[in-house]
Amino acid sequence: MEFGVQSSELKWQKKPDTRHGHGHVIWKEDEAMSRRNRNLPRGWYPWDGKDCKKEIESYLEGWSTPPDLLIKGLGGIIPHAGWYFSGRLAARVFRSLKSEKKVELVVVYGGHLSTEDLPRIVTEESWETPFGDIEIHTDFVKNLMKKIETKRESSSSDDNTIEIQLALVKYFFPGAKLLAIRSPVSLKAKTLGEAVAEIARKEGIQMIVIGSTDLTHYGPNYGFLMKGIGPAAVDWVKKENDKGFIDRALRMDIEGLLKHALENDSACSAGAAASAMATCKSLGAEKGILLDYYTSYDILPDDSFVGYAGILY
C-alpha cells in the first residue's frame, strides 16, 4: 500500500568518488559522510518519539510471541505500508526477533528495484528517526561495497521500503547499528544476501535481518484485475496469489520466490525478501515460520488492496 511522499535534499560534505575497479565502487577512506533525514511525511508513521512509542505499544498490547516461536531468530520478512495498515505486523515480527542476545547490527533490505538494477546501499553516517538518529555501520558498508557491485542510494530518495522500518529498529534494538540496502528482483539479491552473511561471520557480528516487502497489489488502483473485484478477488489473492509467494518464502526457495513474484505480481519488493532469505539461510536457517497474514482489505475494505505477511527465520 503506497502513500504520497516528499523529498528533502541532503548534500555530501565531499563529492563521492564514483570511480570503479573490478566492477566495484571504490570507497575513499577519507570520504566524509552526512546524515540522512526523514523523507516520509506524516501519515506514514507518527512524527515524534512519544507518538511512535504509543503506537508500537498499542500493537503489542495483549499480545506476546507464541511459545513455539521463542527461538533464536535470525531475521524475517515484514510489510512496508504505512503503520495504519502494516505497523502491527511489523512490530510483532520485530518483537519476536528480540531476545537476550546483544544485537550489534540490524540489516534492512528494501526494494522497489527492477531486475536490471544493482543493489543500492545507504552510505550516510546516520539516519534520522523519531527516537533519535540510528548509526549506520560504515565499516560494514565499506566491506560490502568492496565485495560486490553496488550503487549508492540517492540522498534524496523517497523510497519508503526501508525508512518505514527505522523507528521500529530503533525502538526494539536501540543500541544496534544499521545496514540499509535496496535489493533488485534478480539473483543479485541472493548474491547480496550471501555476501552480507559472509562478512558478518568473518567479523563476528551478531545481527538480525529484515526483508521489507508488501505482497499482491490488487485492484483498479494498481491496474491488476485478474479476478474482477469483490469477495472472489480477495479470496483469490489470499488463497492463491499471496499464498504462492508465502509458501516459497517459508521453504526458503529463493529462485522460486523471485520467479513467482515476476510472473504473478505477488510482491512489490521480492528482492528484499530474497536477500533476507539468502542471509538467514547462509547463517543456518532451514525454514520460515508464518507469524501472521492479512490484507489492507481486512482493515479498510476497498476494491484496491494489498497483502501483508510476517515471516520469521
- Nearest CA among 80, 151, 145 for reference residue 110: 80
Residue 69's pLDDT is: 65
Question: Could you list the mean pLDDT of each consecutive 10-residue stretch along the chain, which spans 313 residues?
Answer: 33 32 43 78 92 96 77 90 95 91 95 95 96 97 96 89 97 97 97 98 96 98 95 97 98 98 97 98 95 96 97 96
Give the gyration radius of the chain's Cα atoms: 18
The residue to which cell 494498481 is assigned: 222
CA 119 to chain centre: 13
- Distance between CA atoms of 134 and 128, rounded to whole angstroms? 6
Domain residue spans of the chain: 33-312
CA 214 to chain centre: 9
Strand extents, DSSP E, 183-304: 207-212, 217-218, 289-295
Backbone angles phi, psi at 235, to 5 degrees: -60, -40
Residue 25's pLDDT is: 47
β-pairing verdict for 151-152 and 120-121: parallel
- The residues pairing with 217 across neighbouring beta strands, listed in sequence order, are 306
- Distance between CA atoms of 145 and 63, rounded to whole angstroms? 40
Backbone angles phi, psi at 206, to 5 degrees: -85, 125
Residue 18's pLDDT is: 35
Check if the beta carbon of residue 127 is closer than 8 Å to that of residue 166: yes
Backbone angles phi, psi at 10, to 5 degrees: -120, 150
Residue 33's pLDDT is: 52
3-state secondary structure of 4: coil
Residue 168's pLDDT is: 98
Please state the length of the chain.
313
Its pTM stands at 0.88
Options 3.40.50.720, 3.30.1370.100, 3.40.50.300, 3.40.830.10; which CATH number does 33-312 get?
A: 3.40.830.10
3-state secondary structure of 70: coil
